[in-house]
Amino acid sequence: MAVRPGFVLEVDERTPPLLVHQGEGLLLEQFPLGTRVVYPPESLPGLPDVNAAIADALEHPHGSEPLRDLLFPGMKLTIAFDDLSIPLPRMRRPDIRQRVIEQVLTLAAEQGVDDVHLIVATALHRRMTAAEIEYVVGERVFRSFWPDNLYNHDAEDRDNLTHIGLTDHGEDVEINRRAAESDLVVYVNVNLVAMDGGHKSAAIGLASYNSLRHHHNSHTMLHSKSFMDHTRSAMHSSAWRMGRLLNQHVRVFNIETTVNNQAFPEKYGFLTRREWEWSRKDQAMAYATTAALPKLPSRQRHRFFQGIVADYQVTGVNAGETEATHEKTLEAVHRQQLVEVEGQSDVLVVGLPFLGPYNVDSVMNPILATCMGLGYFFNMYRGRPLVRHKGAMILYHPVTPEFTQLHHPSYVDFYEEVLAESTDPATIEAKFEKQYATDPWYVHLYRTSHAYHGVHPFYMWYWATHGMDHVGDVVWVGGDRRACARLGFRAASTLADALEMVSGTVGRAPSITYLHSPPHAIADVR
């Protein structure tokens, strides 16, 4: 196997079959000779003493006084934290958010603070269950604060929202009233990828639809040229404007954490190791797993994958003023995930895994699969996309038209009603978004059950806008043909068939890049 700089390799005659994720399944695929394979970097070592690192970050923050100096008796303290959309898969307990929150609460108690609320920063995501919250914050914090002082943010509770003001671009900044009226908001984040964190935390996680509509729209997403580089993302530019205005009215102390690439337990270590480095045990596990999964009933397959818990180790803890803290966080993320890549390819191949930010304990429906492929994985780059303009993207996923009614009720109608009329994001936004965003039944399910907000499938479709605009052809290997057609794409049975189908776009001898993920890699395309 010819080795290029970093973790970029080229398929030759000695290359073994490569592992490809295909939803709740795995394949061993033989790629054409010359295919460029971009692997995620090996895991960095975790911090030797995580609790000591947290204490040091709180005592020596970036651009701020120590946290203890911001705490005083009689104050209102609100601790907000990321919901279950990250990290993926969930991390082994204790979750890093628990460790951070416990130290913040200890400092608050020492300083005589007794008015403390903890808020799950769900934005328009589904409400977390009590058990899910307890898993994140730990049994002791949960028992002490749930449910009166530990709860999910409700973006539709008009009595508990505060309009902070308008940015110089006319964007509404409207957030959770408790947070807005606090003397201090401490935001606890897990920065799984470079897209997370910074002003995207409080200004988005605690916001209302009235705020979110300014950046979660087709025009903004089209002009977000890399979600992994906030300086080139229109969405992040909007969030940064909002966050700066918010920070003028409310003191926000950010605590950002980063993890390494150990996205799977050691038992399934073959999922994180390069194929030619597999031990005999890894080889046996890989072949046995890929052979067994198709034979399992779908419910058992789902239970197997959703039950995976990652062995993430914490690689960094930074705290303080939002932008100064986030700069240090990004350095840690890039150390773990950045891979230098020379030039673009005609074809980008990606295998979509079983789990994304919005299908925890759910199936990955066709809209979410589109968001994962053309939204997230297409955007795993800095500089330029891995695939050239009007090239082709080949995705592995079954694209089964199956939906979890509890979590995604509005997705069903979006698939059946909206996509039946148009797949164009701007057309969809103009004709249907307001109806879904304000529908009383969807609002009711968001507020009282565990459903994503009625507008959420629109946001997921917009997320793919830049990818859909950039590539000239999209084919799903193993995808349900009718579902792919409903999405405006095509389906193929094999990689060879997919390459034949896109030959009209990229020719019969295209350059191919396979983004081997998860774990995550951000391609720094030169």
Sheet holding 473-477, edge to edge: 2-3, 8-10, 36-38, 512-515, 345-351, 387-396, 473-477, 490-492
How confident is the model over 128-162, as pLDDT tens digits?
999 999 999 999 999 999 999 999 999 999 999 99
Rounded to an integer, what distance in angstroms lies between the CA atom of residue 137 and that of residue 306?
20
Averaged pLDDT for residues 347-361: 98
pLDDT of residue 6: 57
Contact 465, 218 (CB under 8 A): yes
Q: Residues 338-365: what's their mean pLDDT?
A: 97
User: What is the pLDDT confidence band of residue 75, given thresholds at 50, 70 and 90?
Assistant: very high
Instruction: Report the length, in residues, of the chain.
Output: 526
- Listed residue (348, 423, 292, 298) closest to 23, CA to CA: 298
Q: Once rounded to an integer, what is the mean pLDDT over residues 210-219?
A: 98
Residue type for 384, please? R
Please choose, from the candidates 292, 184, 185, 167, the residue with its C-alpha nearest in 3D space to the C-alpha of residue 239: 167
- The model carries a pTM of 0.97
Is residue 3's pLDDT more than 50? no
Question: What's the mean pLDDT in 342-367?
Answer: 98
Q: 319 with 255: CB under 8 angstroms?
A: yes
Q: Are strands 161-166 and 36-38 parallel, antiparallel or unpaired?
A: unpaired
SS (HEC) of 132-157 = HHHHHHCHHHHHHHCCCCEEECCCCC
Q: pLDDT tens across 183-201, in order?
A: 999 999 999 999 999 999 9
% of the chain with per-residue pLDDT over 70 = 99
β-pair partners for 76: 115
What rounded mean pLDDT belongs to the chain? 97
